[in-house]
């Protein structure tokens, strides 16, 4: 495609005509202190910034936005920074997942209604990554993703602490009476020590790495720790590159092909990435008109084992991953599994971007013949308990539980679980399978990260650290355990999970991808006939829209009306 000329820029519709409306646009730029030379004939670059004082992972984004602007000016563009909703994983309740689609919608509409020729998407904290990419894909104006980068490693008495993962680990020890209050307070001080997203292989590290494998980031950018000076220089390089992308009209849909999404899945499996990645990739693909299924993930997991030795599947954290060669080194290790011809934001192919990549420490980024675990990153289970599928991360589970048969201990919702799980009168044993209902996309709502269901305190005291757990919830990428997640269809709409009763035998066979409820079809049918849905929680507002439009986990939990229908973005009329 030939390079655009200034009069072909999208922003020219706003600024170029010799009419009263464009006079208004130009005079308002001048009101903000810009001169004609600042914008005339130049690509206008929107910098969509998810900075906010309530988002701990993006505290450096004000500085980074300035560094992006420096790059945009250097390359002859005209930068304009715009705030968009900041999805803070730590503080949003009931879960940031409720708002992923809202940020995606805001991103799409922000791009659509303003005179942007290209945009920089500034995100990192969990849902910000898929949300920004989903919205930008629907808008299909040139877009580059600027990752927040992982925070520095945590530390407690000389021991490395990983976000989330070590909190869960020491919380279990505290519950078991092995960890005192003083040490717990010291952990609170030492586990999150800088700007940047969680530095284990949680959803943020997984999704930013996948964004890079998809071709949406500058090469190597997603592994750079947030507070390194390299990160600031990378931000300016993003500013220079996005101007080039505007002239070359390198749009998300031109990058996000089915081959690119397969590269994303391959990368996810090699990373031992967060189970959340499955939902997000399906949703992102849906915006690009590419249909992904759970089977697409399972096929890759059968061929490729985890090679990133990062917590929770491994030993290290993201700072070590960066020093070991980072994402480019990992992609180099798995290059035979990738489609290297896929186009990226650099205008080059993924293969060209990998030139010179090397592994510095092969204990952190393992060779394929010495993986972290035998299994691939995420397995898909099916059976009469999850006709549309469920997922498990076998490398994060105790091996003895990967083939297990046990009686169900059923909790109707998370409140019920919290109220009763530690009651010794329940008499749970390590063989029990804990089942949580009403934790899915509609039931919770928002399919929250409750899937690492708590183990009863009295079993923790006996030394039990893992149990089979099944829910229609998600699990934080920093979590671990034998947790079967995303059971679909969910219990709130009458999926089989809603029909499980205390004592029912459940069989899980991860190797054979089986999740079976040992109850006859006739009995299940009679339970279904008696089952009644709960009252809807929202009669108005965003909650109502959400409940009416959300799809199930295996479909990506996007809103139905936001799926790609092939029509493309409708440009606003300018009168």
State which residue, 150 or 286, has the beta carbon closest to ligand FES.
150
State which residue, 11 or 203, has the beta carbon closest to ligand FES.
203
Instruction: Give min distance, CB of 202 to ligand FES, in A.
Output: 6
What is the rounded CA–CA span in Å between residue 453 and residue 468?
A: 9
Dihedral class, residue 238 (left if φ above 0, else alpha if ψ from -120 to 50, else beta): alpha
Helix, strand or coil, per DSSP, at residue 217:
coil
Residues that bind ligand FES (rule: CB under 6 A) add up to a total of 10
Helix (H) or strand (E) holding 434: strand 433-436
- For 31, 45, 98, 201, 317, the CA distances from 268, given in Å and listed in that order, are 47, 31, 23, 10, 16
Of the candidates 32, 62, 27, 25, the one whose C-alpha atom is nearest the C-alpha of residue 47 is: 62
State which residue, 91 or 531, has the beta carbon closest to ligand FES.
91
Q: Any contact of residue 125 with ligand FES (CB under 6 A)?
A: yes
Instruction: Give min distance, CB of 20 to ligand FES, in A.
Output: 46
Instruction: Give min distance, CB of 204 to ligand FES, in A.
Output: 4
Q: Any contact of residue 162 with ligand FES (CB under 6 A)?
A: no
State which residue, 163 or 552, has the beta carbon closest to ligand FES.
163
Instruction: Give min distance, CB of 154 to ligand FES, in A.
Output: 12
- Number of Cβ within 10 Å of residue 375's Cβ equals 26
State which residue, 57 or 144, has the beta carbon closest to ligand FES.
57
**Interface map 302-321 toward ligand FES (x if CB under 6 A):** --------------------
Instruction: Give min distance, CB of 179 to ligand FES, in A.
Output: 22
Cα 47 versus chain centre, distance: 21
What is the rounded CA–CA span in Å between residue 333 and residue 320?
A: 17
Instruction: Give min distance, CB of 4 to ligand FES, in A.
Output: 36
State which residue, 448 or 495, has the beta carbon closest to ligand FES.
448
Cis peptide before 412 (omega within 30 of 0): no
Do the beta carbons of residue 60 and residue 92 sit within 8 Å? Answer: no
Instruction: Give min distance, CB of 127 to ligand FES, in A.
Output: 9
What is the rounded CA–CA span in Å between residue 338 and residue 170?
A: 38
Length of the chain in residues, anyone? 575
According to CB under 6 A, which one of 67, 108, 126, 449 is a site residue for ligand FES? 126
Instruction: Give min distance, CB of 52 to ligand FES, in A.
Output: 12
What is the rounded CA–CA span in Å between residue 318 and residue 322?
A: 6
Instruction: Give min distance, CB of 307 to ligand FES, in A.
Output: 22
| Alpha helix (H) residue ranges in 215-353 | 229-248, 252-255, 258-271, 276-287, 294-303, 318-323, 326-333, 350-353
Instruction: Give min distance, CB of 125 to ligand FES, in A.
Output: 3
Of the candidates 405, 402, 107, 138, the one whose C-alpha atom is nearest the C-alpha of residue 286 is: 138
Instruction: Give min distance, CB of 163 to ligand FES, in A.
Output: 6
Binders of ligand FES among residues 16 to 75 (CB under 6 A) are 57
According to CB under 6 A, which one of 39, 79, 81, 89 is a site residue for ligand FES? 89
State which residue, 69 or 127, has the beta carbon closest to ligand FES.
127
CA atoms within 13 A on the CB side of 503: 1
- For 46, 106, 232, 326, the CA distances from 78, given in Å and listed in that order, are 9, 22, 19, 32
State which residue, 126 or 413, has the beta carbon closest to ligand FES.
126
Q: Any contact of residue 298 with ligand FES (CB under 6 A)?
A: no
| Alpha helix (H) residue ranges in 272-313 | 276-287, 294-303
Binders of ligand FES among residues 185 to 204 (CB under 6 A) are 197-198, 202, 204
Helix (H) or strand (E) holding 123: strand 118-123
Helix (H) or strand (E) holding 541: helix 541-549
State which residue, 126 or 466, has the beta carbon closest to ligand FES.
126
Question: What are the structure tokens assigned to 442, written together?
Answer: 């509609």
Instruction: Give min distance, CB of 215 to ligand FES, in A.
Output: 22
- For 441, 444, 499, the CA distances from 437, given in Å and listed in that order, are 11, 9, 9
What is the rounded CA–CA span in Å between residue 149 and residue 122?
A: 11
Of the candidates 162, 156, 158, the one whose C-alpha atom is nearest the C-alpha of residue 183 is: 156
**Interface map 90-119 toward ligand FES (x if CB under 6 A):** x-----------------------------
Instruction: Give min distance, CB of 18 to ligand FES, in A.
Output: 48
State which residue, 90 or 536, has the beta carbon closest to ligand FES.
90
Q: Any contact of residue 152 with ligand FES (CB under 6 A)?
A: no
State which residue, 190 or 387, has the beta carbon closest to ligand FES.
190
Q: Any contact of residue 238 with ligand FES (CB under 6 A)?
A: no
Cis peptide before 489 (omega within 30 of 0): yes
State which residue, 123 or 252, has the beta carbon closest to ligand FES.
123
Instruction: Give min distance, CB of 559 to ligand FES, in A.
Output: 23
Query: 256 Cβ partners below 8 Å, 6+ apart?
Result: 137, 214, 215, 216, 284, 285, 288, 290
State which residue, 373 or 448, has the beta carbon closest to ligand FES.
448
Do the beta carbons of residue 449 and residue 436 sit within 8 Å? Answer: no
State which residue, 257 or 476, has the beta carbon closest to ligand FES.
476
User: Which parts of this chain interact with ligand FES (CB under 6 A)?
Assistant: 57, 89-90, 125-126, 163, 197-198, 202, 204
């Amino acid at each position: 495609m030939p390079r655009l000329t200034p009069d072909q820029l999208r922003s020219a519709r706003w600024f170029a005509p010799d009419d009263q409306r464009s006079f208004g646009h130009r005079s308002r730029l001048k009101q903000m202190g810009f001169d004609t030379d600042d914008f005339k004939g130049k690509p206008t670059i929107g910098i969509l910034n998810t900075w906010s004082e309530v988002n701990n992972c993006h505290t450096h984004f004000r500085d980074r936005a300035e560094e992006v602007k420096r790059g945009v000016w250097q390359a002859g563009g005209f930068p304009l920074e715009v705030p968009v909703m900041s999805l803070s994983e730590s503080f949003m309740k009931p879960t940031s997942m409720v708002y992923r689609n809202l940020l995606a919608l805001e991103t799409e509409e922000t791009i659509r209604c303003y005179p942007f020729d290209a945009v920089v998407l500034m995100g990192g904290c969990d849902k910000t990554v898929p949300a920004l990419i989903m919205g930008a894909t629907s808008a299909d104006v040139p877009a580059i993703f600027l990752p927040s980068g992982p925070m520095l490693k945590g530390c407690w008495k000389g021991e490395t602490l990983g976000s989330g993962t070590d909190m869960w680990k020491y919380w279990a020890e505290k519950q078991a009476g092995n960890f005192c209050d003083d040490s717990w307070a010291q952990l609170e001080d030492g586990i999150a020590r800088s700007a940047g997203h969680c530095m284990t292989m949680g959803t943020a590290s997984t999704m930013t790495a996948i964004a890079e494998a998809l071709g949406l980031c500058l090469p190597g950018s997603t592994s750079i720790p947030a507070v390194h000076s390299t990160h600031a220089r990378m931000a300016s390089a993003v500013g220079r590159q996005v101007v080039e992308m505007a002239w070359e009209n390198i749009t998300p849909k031109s990058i996000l092909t089915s081959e690119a999404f397969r590269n994303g899945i391959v990368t996810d499996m090699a990373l031992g990435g967060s189970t959340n990645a499955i939902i997000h990739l399906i949703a992102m693909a849906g915006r690009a008109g590419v249909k992904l299924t759970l089977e697409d993930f399972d096929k890759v997991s059968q061929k490729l084992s985890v090679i990133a030795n990062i917590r929770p599947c491994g030993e290290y954290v993201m700072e070590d991953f960066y020093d070991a060669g980072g994402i480019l080194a990992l992609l180099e290790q798995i290059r035979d599994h990738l489609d290297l011809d896929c186009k990226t934001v650099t205008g080059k192919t993924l293969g060209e971007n990998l030139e010179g990549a090397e592994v510095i420490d092969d204990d952190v980024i393992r060779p394929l013949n010495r993986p972290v675990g035998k299994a691939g990153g995420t397995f898909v289970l099916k059976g009469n308990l999850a006709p549309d599928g469920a997922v498990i991360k076998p490398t994060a589970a105790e091996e003895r539980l990967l083939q297990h048969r046990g009686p169900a201990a059923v909790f109707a919702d998370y409140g019920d679980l919290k109220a009763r799980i530690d009651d010794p009168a329940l008499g749970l044993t390590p063989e029990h399978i804990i089942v949580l209902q009403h934790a899915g996309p509609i039931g919770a709502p928002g399919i929250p990260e409750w899937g690492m269901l708590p183990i009863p305190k009295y079993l923790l005291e006996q030394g039990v650290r893992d149990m089979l757990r099944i829910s229609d919830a998600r699990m934080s990428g920093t979590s671990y355990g034998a947790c079967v997640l995303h059971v679909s269809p969910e219990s709130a709409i009458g999926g089989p999970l809603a029909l499980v009763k205390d004592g029912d035998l459940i069989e899980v066979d991860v190797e054979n991808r089986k999740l079976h409820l040992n109850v006859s079809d006739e009995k299940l049918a009679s339970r279904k006939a008696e089952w009644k849905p709960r009252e809807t929680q929202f009669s108005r507002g965003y909650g109502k829209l959400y409940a009416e439009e959300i799809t199930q986990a295996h479909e990506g939990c996007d809103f139905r009306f936001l799926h790609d229908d092939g029509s493309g973005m409708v440009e606003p009329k300018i009168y």
